[in-house]
Structure 1
Amino acid sequence: MTQQKTHRNLVLIIIIMLITSILVAAASVGGTLWYVKSYHGDGGGNLRLPFSQPQNIDPIFHPLEKLVLSVKGERQTHFIMMELALETRRPEAIEGIDNYMPVVRNSLLKLFSNKTYEQLQNDRTIDELQDEVKSTLLEAFDKTRYAHAIDNVLLTKYVIQ
Structure 2
Amino acid sequence: MPNKKKSTTTGKSKLRSLFILVILLLAVGACSIAAWTMYEMKNMQARMLSDSEPPEETEVTEPITPVYVPLDTFTVSLKPAGEEYDRVLYIGLTLRVNNEDDKSKIEKYLPEVRSRLLMLFSGHSAEELSLNEGKSQLIQDIKQVLTTPLDEKSGVVVTDVLFNAFILR
CA RMSD of aligned residues (A): 2.8
Match of 2:165 in 1: 157
Aligned-pair CA distance for 1:59: 1.3
- Deviation digits for residues 36-62 of structure 1, max 9, x if unmatched? xxxxxxxxxxxxxxxxxxx95321222
Amino acid at match of 2:159: D
Give the whole-Å Cα distance in 2 for the aligned partners of 1:118 and 1:103: 27
Match of 1:107 in 2: 116
Match of 1:84 in 2: 93
- Deviation digits for residues 77-123 of structure 1, max 9, x if unmatched? 21111111121242254333123221122212222333222332357
- Counterpart of 1:69 (choices 69, 73, 76) is 76
Q: State how many pairs are aligned.
A: 106
Identity of aligned residues (%): 25
Structure 1, unmatched stretches of 5+, are 1-54
- Whether contact under 8 Å (2:146, 2:156) holds in the other structure is no
Match of 1:60 in 2: 67
Aligned-pair CA distance for 1:142: 5.3
Find the residue that maps to 1:115 and give its secondary structure: coil
Give the whole-Å Cα distance in 2 for the aligned partners of 1:109 and 1:116: 13
Gap change, CA 1:92 and 1:57, over 3 Å in 2? same
- Whether contact under 8 Å (2:146, 2:158) holds in the other structure is no
User: How does the TM-score come out when normalised to structure 2?
Assistant: 0.50
Gap change, CA 1:136 and 1:72, over 3 Å in 2? same
Aligned-pair CA distance for 1:75: 2.9
Answering whether residue 138 of structure 2 is matched by residue 133 of structure 1, we say: no
Amino acid at match of 1:68: T
Give the whole-Å Cα distance in 1 for the aligned partners of 2:156 and 2:125: 32
User: How does the TM-score come out when normalised to structure 1?
Assistant: 0.52
